[in-house]
C-alpha cells in the first residue's frame, strides 16, 4: 500500500505515521509525507520519533494549495491512498485570519481531489466533530446537518462538501472521518491541554475561558491521538467509500474539569487559573455518536482518561527539547 499523508509533520499526522510504521502490522507499506512545514509542522516529529531514516518513509515539502506541487508529489510517489490531514487547525487563529484556512483547508483539499481523479483506491478526508456545531444534550450522528460556528469548522465543512461532490461527480473514492478533540504527545503547545501543561512546567498560570454565567463549563469529548489513529486505519481498511464515520473519544469533560486534572498532576490548585474572556462564537458542547463506527467493528475504549492525561503531562515534562522551540510561535 502506497499512502500519501498530507500534514504528516503535524500532531495527528505524525502520530499516524508512527502508528503505521510501528503498530499497524501492515507489511507492504510505503509512506510519503507531504507537508508545507508551517509553524505547526516545525516540531521535527518524525525525527524525534526516530523514524526519519526508515526505508519505508519519504518526505516531500509542499503546499496542498499549490496545484503544481501536488501534481509533482503524485507523479513522483504514485500513491494508491491519500490521507488528508493537512490543514490550518487552530480555531483562535481562524478568527483573526480566516483566509489561510480557506486556502489550505478548502483549496488544498480541492487540489488533492482534482489532481488524484482516477488514480486512487481510497481518499480519506480527515475532518472534525466541530462541523456539526454545538448541542446541549444528545449526540450528533453522521446524517445530521452541518452547522459550523467558527471559520475553522466552516472551512472543514466546506472541504468535506467538496470531497462528497468529487465522489458523486468523479467517483473519487472518498471516506470522511470526523473525530472529537485529540490529545497526546506531539500536540503543539498552543492547544488547551499542552498549553496548560507547558505553562505549569514553567510555573505560569493557565488561561481558562470564563464568564460569570459560564465559568469554564464548555464540554469537549477527548480522544487519545493513538485511538484516533487506530480508528482511521480501521476505517481506511473497512469503511465504505462515500461514507462518513464519527470517531468519538467517549470521554466528555468540561474545561474546568480538564484544567483541575492538569493542575492536580502538578500539585497546584485554582490559584493558578487566569480567567480570560470566551472566544467569539465559542461552541458550548460537542458530542458525536460512535454507533456507525461500532457497526463497522471499532469502538474507542478510552481506558482511564485521567491516567492517559497524566501520561501526557509526563511526556511533556520529559520532552522539553521538543516543545520549547515551538512555544509561543
Ligand atoms: P496540526 O496543526 O498539528 O498539523 C497540521 C499539519 O498540516 C502541519 O504539519 C502543517 O505544516 C501542515 N499544513 C498546514 N497547511 C498546509 C498546506 N497548505 N500544505 C501542506 N501542509 C500543510 O493539526 P492536527 O491537530 O494534527 O490536525 C490534523 C487534521 O486533523 C486537521 O485536518 C484537523 O482539522 C483534523 N482534526 C484535528 C483534531 C484535533 O483535536 N487536533 C480533531 C479533529 C480533526
Tell me, yes or no, whether 292 lies in a domain: no
Same domain, 139 and 204: no
286 CA → ligand 1 middle, Å: 19
pLDDT at 189: 97
pLDDT at 302: 75
Same domain, 115 and 138: yes
7 CA → ligand 1 middle, Å: 6
Tell me, yes or no, whether 49 lies in a domain: yes
Tell me, yes or no, whether 259 lies in a domain: yes
Q: What CATH number does residue 73 fall under?
A: 3.40.50.720
Q: What b/e string do you get for 189-212 counting C-beta neighbours within 10 Å, with b at 16 or more? A: bbbbbbbbbbbbbeeeebebbbee
Residue 184 Cβ inside 6 Å of ligand 1? The answer reads no
Range of the domain at 195: 184-220+252-283+306-327
Tell me, yes or no, whether 150 lies in a domain: yes
- 261, containing H or E segment: helix 255-265
Per-residue pLDDT of the chain (329 residues; tens, 9 = 90+): 999 999 999 999 999 999 999 999 998 999 999 999 999 999 999 999 999 999 999 999 999 999 999 999 999 999 999 999 999 999 999 999 999 999 999 999 999 999 999 999 999 999 999 999 999 999 999 999 999 999 999 999 999 999 999 999 999 999 999 999 999 999 999 999 999 999 999 999 999 999 999 999 999 999 999 999 999 999 999 999 999 999 999 999 999 999 999 999 999 999 999 999 999 999 999 999 999 999 999 998 877 899 999 999 999 999 999 999 999 88
Residue 37 Cβ inside 6 Å of ligand 1? The answer reads yes
12 CA → ligand 1 middle, Å: 7
Closest CA to 81 of 13, 6, 2, 164: 2
Closest CA to 239 of 119, 138, 142: 142
Residue 108 Cβ inside 6 Å of ligand 1? The answer reads yes
User: What ligand 1 atom has the least distance to the C-alpha of 108?
Assistant: 18
6 CA → ligand 1 middle, Å: 9
Which grid coordinates are listed for 249? Answer: 473519544
pLDDT at 240: 98
Q: What is the pTM of this model?
A: 0.98
CA distances from 285 to 185, 281, 289 (A): 24, 12, 13
Tell me, yes or no, whether 98 lies in a domain: yes
Residue 12 Cβ inside 6 Å of ligand 1? The answer reads yes
Q: Whose CA is nearest to atom 19 of ligand 1?
A: 63
User: What ligand 1 atom has the least distance to the C-alpha of 39?
Assistant: 11
Could you give the CA distance from residue 22 to residue 242 in angstroms, rounded to a whole number?
A: 29
pLDDT at 329: 81
Residue 70 Cβ inside 6 Å of ligand 1? The answer reads no
Mutation test residue for ligand 1: of 66, 71, 85, the one with most atoms within 8 Å of CB: 85
Closest CA to 227 of 308, 315, 291: 308
133 phi, psi to nearest 5 deg: 80, -165
327 CA → ligand 1 middle, Å: 17
Q: Is 150 helix (H, G, I), strand (E, B) or coil?
A: coil
Same domain, 129 and 191: no
What is the DSSP-derived secondary structure letter of residue 239? P
Residue 181 Cβ inside 6 Å of ligand 1? The answer reads yes
CB atoms within 10 A of CB 274: 11
Could you give the CA distance from residue 251 to residue 227 in angstroms, rounded to a whole number?
A: 12
Catalytic site residues?
129-130, 152
- Cell 467517483: give the residue: 171
Could you give the CA distance from residue 74 to residue 80 in angstroms, rounded to a whole number?
A: 10
Rg (CA), the chain: 19
Tell me, yes or no, whether 296 lies in a domain: no
Could you give the CA distance from residue 292 to residue 90 in angstroms, rounded to a whole number?
A: 28
pLDDT at 328: 84
Residue 85 Cβ inside 6 Å of ligand 1? The answer reads yes
Closest CA to 109 of 70, 58, 153, 150: 70
Tell me, yes or no, whether 294 lies in a domain: no
Which residues have a Cβ under 8 Å from the Cβ of 274 and sit 6 or more positions away?
205, 206, 207, 208
DSSP code string of 92-118? HHHHH--HHHIIIIIIHHHHHHHHTTT
Q: What CATH number does residue 212 fall under?
A: 3.90.25.10
Closest CA to 255 of 276, 233, 241, 224: 276
Same domain, 136 and 14: yes
Residue 326 Cβ inside 6 Å of ligand 1? The answer reads no
230 CA → ligand 1 middle, Å: 17
- 192, containing H or E segment: helix 192-201
CB atoms within 10 A of CB 48: 15
Total domains in the fold of the chain: 2
Tell me, yes or no, whether 124 lies in a domain: yes
294 phi, psi to nearest 5 deg: -65, -40
Q: Whose CA is nearest to atom 17 of ligand 1?
A: 63
Amino acid at each position: 500500500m502506497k499512502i500519501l499523508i498530507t500534514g504528516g509533520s503535524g500532531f495527528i499526522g505524525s502520530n499516524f505515521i508512527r502508528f503505521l510504521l510501528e503498530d499497524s502490522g501492515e507489511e507492504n507499506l510505503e509512506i510519503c509525507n507531504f507537508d508545507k512545514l508551517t509553524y505547526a509542522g516545525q516540531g521535527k516529529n518524525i525525527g524525534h520519533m526516530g523514524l526519519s531514516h526508515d526505508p519505508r518513509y519519504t518526505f516531500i515539502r509542499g503546499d496542498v494549495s499549490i496545484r503544481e506541487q501536488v501534481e509533482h508529489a503524485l507523479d513522483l510517489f504514485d500513491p494508491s491512498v491519500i490521507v488528508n490531514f493537512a490543514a490550518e487547525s487552530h480555531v483562535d487563529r481562524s478568527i483573526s485570519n480566516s483566509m489561510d484556512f480557506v486556502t489550505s483547508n478548502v483549496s488544498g483539499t480541492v487540489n488533492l481531489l482534482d489532481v488524484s481523479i482516477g488514480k486512487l483506491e481510497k481518499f480519506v478526508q480527515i475532518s472534525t466533530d466541530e462541523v456539526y456545531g454545538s448541542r446541549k444534550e444528545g449526540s450528533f450522528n453522521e446524517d445530521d446537518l452541518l452547522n459550523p460556528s467558527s471559520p475553522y469548522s466552516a472551512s472543514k465543512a466546506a472541504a468535506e462538501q467538496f470531497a462528497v461532490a468529487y465522489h458523486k461527480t468523479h467517483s473519487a473514492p472518498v471516506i470522511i472521518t470526523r473525530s472529537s478533540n485529540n490529545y497526546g504527545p506531539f500536540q503543539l503547545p498552543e492547544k488547551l491541554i499542552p498549553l496548560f501543561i507547558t505553562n505549569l512546567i514553567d510555573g505560569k498560570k493557565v488561561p481558562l475561558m470564563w464568564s460569570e454565567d459560564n465559568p469554564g463549563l464548555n464540554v469537549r469529548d477527548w480522544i487519545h491521538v493513538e485511538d484516533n489513529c487506530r480508528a482511521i486505519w480501521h476505517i481506511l481498511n473497512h469503511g465504505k467509500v462515500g461514507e462518513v464515520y464519527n470517531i468519538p473519544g467517549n470521554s466528555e469533560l468540561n474545561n474546568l474539569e480538564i484544567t483541575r486534572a492538569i493542575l492536580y498532576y502538578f500539585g497546584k490548585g485554582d490559584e493558578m487559573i487566569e480567567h480570560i474572556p470566551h472566544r467569539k462564537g465559542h461552541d458550548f458542547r460537542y458530542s458525536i455518536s460512535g454507533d456507525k463506527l461500532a457497526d463497522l467493528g471499532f469502538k474507542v475504549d478510552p481506558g482511564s482518561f485521567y491516567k492517559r492525561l497524566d501520561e501526557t503531562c509526563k511526556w511533556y515534562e520529559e520532552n522539553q527539547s521538543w516543545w520549547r522551540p515551538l512555544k509561543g510561535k
